[in-house]
Amino acid sequence: MTTPITLSDEVADAVHSGRAIVALESTILSHGLPPGRNLAVANRLEETVRAAGAVPATIAVLDGVAHAGLSRAQLERVCAADAGLDKLSLRDLGPAIGLGRSGATTVASTSALAHAAGIGVFATGGLGGVHLGAGESWDVSADLGVLARVPVLVVCSGVKSVLDIAATLEVLETNSVPVLGYATGEFPAFYRRSSGFEVPWRVDDAASAAAVVAAHRRVASSGVLLANPIPATAEMSAELHDRLLAEGLALLDSRGVHGKEVTPVLLEHFHTASGGVSLDANEELVVSNARVAAEVAVELA
């Protein structure tokens, strides 16, 4: 990738000196959490990364410029209720930059921009995947294609249960993306600690995860997925989760929602219909992922 990306002074210094850095996406802030709470979570994520000894690099596109590491004013702008940011996957970066637009980056675009900036570790909430019925719709997240060719470690809590998890894992295997379970042998499903599917490999600490990532980078050019289950204390009950999921799927069907709009609509339903349980769960899992990512980044550095 040759697209210029502006690094904050702190991130630039960390890149040049080889210090540990963790990239953080901005879509969760602008599209995944309500105003007010999103800024609190943004601050907590950056503080969590710093506490573990790494430098946070929140990524976004502002007025046609890609940034890695946001100032206080820029972070507040991303989280503002009237920000009006576009949701930018990798395919959208060129148009947004070329037209001088502003947008929040997804897993795909954040991974690509992080790699362009020299950042090899990225923490997020959940990975995109193969949608149910993809055999007819061809609805497969760009996240998987980017992981296939960008050597970034993505730390997440698996994928949401609205996706075809078996097919998602199969696509990752086909594209030579190692899937590691962090202190678990089961692939997590975002709000739930287990999806019922096994992970091919398990690592139990940051040093082991870093060793795998370093070895993989010597033999392949694809990324690595580290699946870190939501903390047990924040896990959504199976009963509530299954009810919200059934309602959410029915809502998507009734509205004819597909593509990149699926996740925002589904998350909004979970947030409004769970009495705040899903918001708490979302915050705790992404903070946990940021901590694990920072610990692995420190080991890699």
What residues form the annotated binding site for substrate?
Answer: 87, 107, 141-143
Per the annotation, the verdict on 25 as an active-site residue is yes
Binding residues for Mn(2+): 139
CB within 8 A of 165, min separation 6: which ones?
A: 129, 158, 159, 187, 189, 195, 197
Binding residues: 87, 107, 139, 141-143
Q: How far apart are CA 286 and CA 60, in angstroms?
A: 18
Q: Which of 46, 47, 160, 170 is an active site residue?
A: 160
Q: What are phi and psi of 22, to 5 degrees?
A: -125, 120
Question: Does residue 37 contact residue 271 with C-beta atoms inside 8 Å?
Answer: no
| CB-CB neighbours of 98 under 10 Å | 10
Segments in the chain forming alpha helices (H): 9-17, 27, 37-51, 72-79, 90-98, 107-117, 134-137, 142-149, 165-174, 206-219, 238-255, 262-273, 277-300
Q: What are phi and psi of 185, to 5 degrees?
A: -105, 5
Question: Does residue 181 contact residue 187 with C-beta atoms inside 8 Å?
Answer: yes
Q: How far is CA 294 from the centre of its chain?
A: 14
Per the annotation, the verdict on 160 as an active-site residue is yes
Question: Does residue 2 contact residue 283 with C-beta atoms inside 8 Å?
Answer: no
Supply the residues annotated as catalytic. 25, 160
